[in-house]
Amino acid sequence: MTPDEIARGLTNAQRAAFKWLKEHGGDACFDKHGVAFAMGETAETTRTVWNALEKAGLIYFYGGKRDGGKGYGRLAVRKIIQEQNNAEV
């Protein structure tokens, strides 16, 4: 699936959340309430939106208790998407 095809299937909330993550370094952590935090700011989106972006293949979750570590986990933009210079997703 191309970035354009993925973008057409996203809601406005998903586009805004993905844009926020890219503008905040492409990596964030979750607090105990499931709110994403990056570069000193919190994302104004719900965990449901992040789950949809993961399902679409745009981001991935890592770290935290589910991986045997501490904390509530992290999320990041998939590298292949970051390398798409002109992909407006």
In a domain, 88, yes or no: no
Other Cβ atoms less than 10 A from the Cβ of 74: the count is 19
The pLDDT of residue 83 is: 53
User: What per-residue confidence (pLDDT) applies to 84?
Assistant: 53
Q: Give the model's pLDDT for residue 70.
A: 72
Question: Quick check: is 36 in a domain?
Answer: yes
Q: Which residues of the chain have pLDDT under 70?
A: 1-3, 80-89
Query: What is the CATH number for 35?
Result: 1.10.10
Q: Is residue 40 part of a domain?
A: yes
pLDDT value, residue 67: 75
Closest CA to 61 of 71, 50, 48: 50
Q: Domain range spanning residue 11? A: 3-82
What is this structure's pTM? 0.79
> Which backbone phi and psi does 58 adopt, to 5 degrees?
-90, -30
pLDDT at 1: 64
Does some domain include residue 87?
A: no
pLDDT at 33: 87
When divided into structural domains, the chain yields a total of 1
In a domain, 19, yes or no: yes
Kindly state whether residue 77 falls inside one of the protein's structural domains: yes
